[in-house]
Structure 1
Amino acid sequence: MAAPSQAYRPETAILDLGDAFYDKVAPADFPQTILRFRNDRAAAEVGLDDLSDEEWIAHFGRFAPLSGSLPHPLALRYHGHQFRTYNPDIGDGRGFLFAQMLGGDGRLMDLGTKGSGQTPYSRFGDGRLTLKGGVREILATEMLEALGVPTSRTFSLIETGEALDRNDEPSPTRSAVLVRLSHSHIRIGTFQRLAYLRDDEATRALTDYVLRRLYGEEPGEDTPVRLLDRVVERTATLAAAYMAAGFVHGVLNSDNINVTGESFDYGPWRFTPTWDPGFTAAYFDHAGLYAFGRQPEAIHWDAMQLAIALRPICEAEPLIAVLDTFGERYQRAVSHAILWRLGLVPRGADSDRALVQTIEPVLRGTATGIDQFFFDAFGGRLPESYGEQWQPVREALAAYTPRSDRSHAYWSGVPCSMLIDEVETIWSAIAERDDWTPLYDKIANIRVMGEALAV
């Protein structure tokens, strides 16, 4: 097998923590391995874009180890609150950490899996992923990346030839194994497990690891406080990015929030058509705990669980002081995220916050489509078709300088969105006719939007 390119820089940093943090596992042996999606744009960032399709399948469908990286897949151990109920019986139940390497920017990167087989934490699950679930994760990560949301990226999707039975979709259904690229798979729940076990030594070791390997800082006496500070900043930014994108993750449990503030693990996600604070993604979220408008609250609550987990190795007062900054950081981040999506240059915290406070009630009250509004208002000029209710917004936008003009070809078309009807249509083409063209065309369209927004 050919070696990866010279840009590939393998790592094994997770092994420094020791085997109390993970279990060595074996991948499932799949009947088939049909390559459906390879993200060469992401692969280029870690030096793996030169792999042939045969080599790609060997590594990401059969999980032959990547040269110099982890010799065995590792199922990571963690606990977490699931819909505010603590669960000590979870962990990587249908995935594992497959490899680590350095990205082009020198940051530590993980390749993790979903649907790669059973582990000690599978409980009664089969350890598999439906093909539809994999397709949905591609769509979510591509859309979020284009909209500026910190997110894992779908690296690979391979169909595996098994028939799966599921309660929430027509069965039997097709199966797949997915690989995601992200900056970390260390979760808030990873720290919660150590606090539950009262393993202060391991908590200190993990805190040092995260600060050194994921944040590039040397540990010291204030390591727990600095770690919480970084996580609060990143998670407040994530919550703000969700809101500006109109995205509802659906399952913001503490085991689904990682310590780099990067969104990942997409299940029942949806984009809300309008600015509806009560819009939910998960059919089982009966109380609306993770509804669109409650996501900042939910993520703040998860950050509080990290503070609680750090309490055995740190005094309470500095941790509380950091937690108290979440709201201000979120407000600043949501202003920045909305201005970015509008293509405007920030003017200052007070002005930017006032603009957001002007837009939000009109957007909500008129039930205007979120994607349509941001498309039409990019550059700060609302079309005349927006009626009298929008006059305060029009006046507020006029005070801003555009970051760029609307010369990109994307702005001469129609807004790119990702509402549930289109997701189902894309899946239907695959399920009924094995037609992958709508998916690939959508990915291309999303990436064009991302280019236009990034100008």
Structure 2
Amino acid sequence: MSSEPQAAPYTPDPRIATIADWIGDPVEAAPFPCTDLRWRNDRWARAVGLGELDDAQWTSHFGRFQPLPGNLPGPLALRYHGHQFRTYNPDLGDGRGFLFAQLRDGNGRLLDLGTKGSGQTPWSRSGDGRLTLKGAVREILATEMLEALGVNTSKTFSVIETGEELWRGDEPSPTRSAVLVRLSHGHIRIGTFQRLYALEEKDHLEALVGYCLDTFPGPPPPVDAPGRDEPAVILLHQVVERLAVLAASWTVAGFVHGVLNTDNMNISGESFDYGPWRWLPRWDMAFTAAYFDHSGLYAFGRQPEALLWNCSQLASTLRTLTETAPLVAALDRFAPLYQQAMSPRFAWRLGVASRGPEADLALTQAAQQAMADSGASPDQFFFDHRTGRNAGDGPFAALLASHAPTASLDDPFWQQPAPPSLLIEEVERIWAAIDQHDDWTALLSKVADIRALGAQLGPAPTA
């Protein structure tokens, strides 16, 4: 079973200060009319030594943004460019968020506390720098479910309602406002590299490669990889591997991010920045999350392609630091790494033991076909067929039976008729209770159910 994140002492380490003068701009948080604490992620607060803060201290730091001890003296809005639906946009950057603090967890990982909806910055363009409370609630749900399903994701650390009325053209207005704090393993994007490349800041580009290798340590490239000792090549290999695993984990989770622009791609390989996300109502490769994705560029089945394309944009920025051939060799690893990561995760979610690449691939393909044929949601499908239960007849049933179970169904969790899910109708019901009656019980109950699912599934395969 998975366990709670381990408690750790507060260990500030604002190392981004060493590159702050060319990667961001000092900013101030908006002076909100009020700060009503709505959500605090205590299990992750304990993991970074902040679990002992009382509500008043919490609100002071994550609603008024008083600096944490020994940390960044003030917020930093990060600069970046990016491809948005494959069109390059140099007019980007943190327009409604900033980096607030950096600190270590009990495993020594450097983590960021960053914001969403904290006010205007030099990069806000015509935006108000705010976040709707509905957007914050949706991010709580997305990050909790992804964490339970073994996806490397940012954590929704805090949500504070701010008392402003916001007008949005694509939803009923005015609507309530909030400021969100996320805990994540870095905020360096592919778009961060694109900006330095576009501005021909080669020295800073080289320095950023070094910062990322120090901050996000990973395995070395394969022994036969050309240029395997060059920092830029090492970094691309690591990013390709992380994003291939991320794409695979989204597939097994049945998750559609919606907006896979290069400014939404974290070098750490961590899923973050949730907007029009959806979980699949049925196994449909053409399913899209964003109503404005008219071409289906970021459809469910095209997410691996999108992440590989984004990796190629990172490779393009690194050509100023190394030869092209080693970068192409790194990109060529994406497809096999994706498959290598996906098949064991299918076995894991089905509660059976991996039998090696060939057998796992056959099970994965049969499971996908069975899902498509049944029309069931992936959540229900995995729940019904875990450890061979209700497998029925046919190729999938035979393959599932050939894999030894690794999990028990004795817990009452598995006796309920359906698993926790986050189809859009459920999300809207949870929000309606908050919006119409200020009733947060459905949200808290859903989070408890999702965390119970995560505990039952246990840690996802790391390979």
Residues 359-414 of structure 1: CA deviation (Å, up to 9, x unaligned): 212211331221111001112x1316x4x5xx110100111112221123211112
Name the residue aligned to 2:419: 415
Distance 2:215 2:8 in 1: 22
Name the residue aligned to 2:167: 165
- The change in CA–CA distance for 1:217 and 1:29 in structure 2 (over 3 A counts) is farther
Distance 2:255 2:218 in 1: 30
Residue type of the alignment partner of 1:403: T
Distance 2:457 2:130 in 1: 36
The answer to whether the aligner puts 1:29 opposite 2:23 as a matched pair is: no
Distance 1:355 1:217 in 2: 29
Name the residue aligned to 1:274: 282
Name the residue aligned to 1:192: 194
Name the residue aligned to 2:122: 120
- The change in CA–CA distance for 1:217 and 1:289 in structure 2 (over 3 A counts) is closer
User: In the TM superposition, what is the alpha-carbon distance from 1:221 to its structure 2 partner?
Assistant: 5.0
Q: Once structures 1 and 2 are overlaid, which stretch shifts more, 232-241 or 407-416?
A: 407-416
Name the residue aligned to 1:439: 443
Name the residue aligned to 2:389: 382
Q: 1:227 aligns with which of 231, 235, 252?
A: 235
Residue type of the alignment partner of 1:400: H
User: In the TM superposition, what is the alpha-carbon distance from 1:251 to its structure 2 partner?
Assistant: 0.2
Spell out structure 1 runs of 4+ moving beyond 3 A: 216-221
Q: Once structures 1 and 2 are overlaid, which stretch shifts more, 101-110 or 208-217?
A: 208-217
Name the residue aligned to 2:407: 404
Using structure 2 for the length normalisation, give the TM-score. 0.94
2:112–2:183 contact (8 Å) kept in structure 1? yes
SS at match of 2:319: helix
Residues 46-98 of structure 1: CA deviation (Å, up to 9, x unaligned): 00000000000000000000001110100000111000000000000000000
Name the residue aligned to 1:449: 453
1:188–1:258 contact (8 Å) kept in structure 2? yes
Name the residue aligned to 1:333: 341
Distance 1:204 1:325 in 2: 23
Residues 245-284 of structure 1: CA deviation (Å, up to 9, x unaligned): 0000000001101001100000000001111001110000
SS at match of 2:156: strand
Distance 1:437 1:263 in 2: 27
Residue type of the alignment partner of 1:445: D
Q: Once structures 1 and 2 are overlaid, which stretch shifts more, 22-31 or 402-411?
A: 402-411
Q: Once structures 1 and 2 are overlaid, which stretch shifts more, 78-87 or 14-23?
A: 14-23
2:100–2:112 contact (8 Å) kept in structure 1? yes
Distance 1:333 1:95 in 2: 32
1:151–1:263 contact (8 Å) kept in structure 2? yes
Give structure 2 stretches of 5+ with no counterpart.
1-6, 222-227
Q: 2:363 aligns with which of 355, 359, 380?
A: 355
Name the residue aligned to 1:105: 107
Mapping of 1:32-43 within 5 angstroms? 32-43=34-45
Mapping of 1:145-294 within 5 angstroms? 145-215=147-217, 222-294=230-302
Name the residue aligned to 2:396: 393
Distance 1:118 1:18 in 2: 19
Distance 1:382 1:289 in 2: 36
Cα RMSD between the aligned structures?
A: 1.5
Give structure 1 stretches of 5+ with no counterpart.
none
User: In the TM superposition, what is the alpha-carbon distance from 1:218 to its structure 2 partner?
Assistant: 10
SS at match of 2:80: coil
Distance 2:336 2:220 in 1: 27
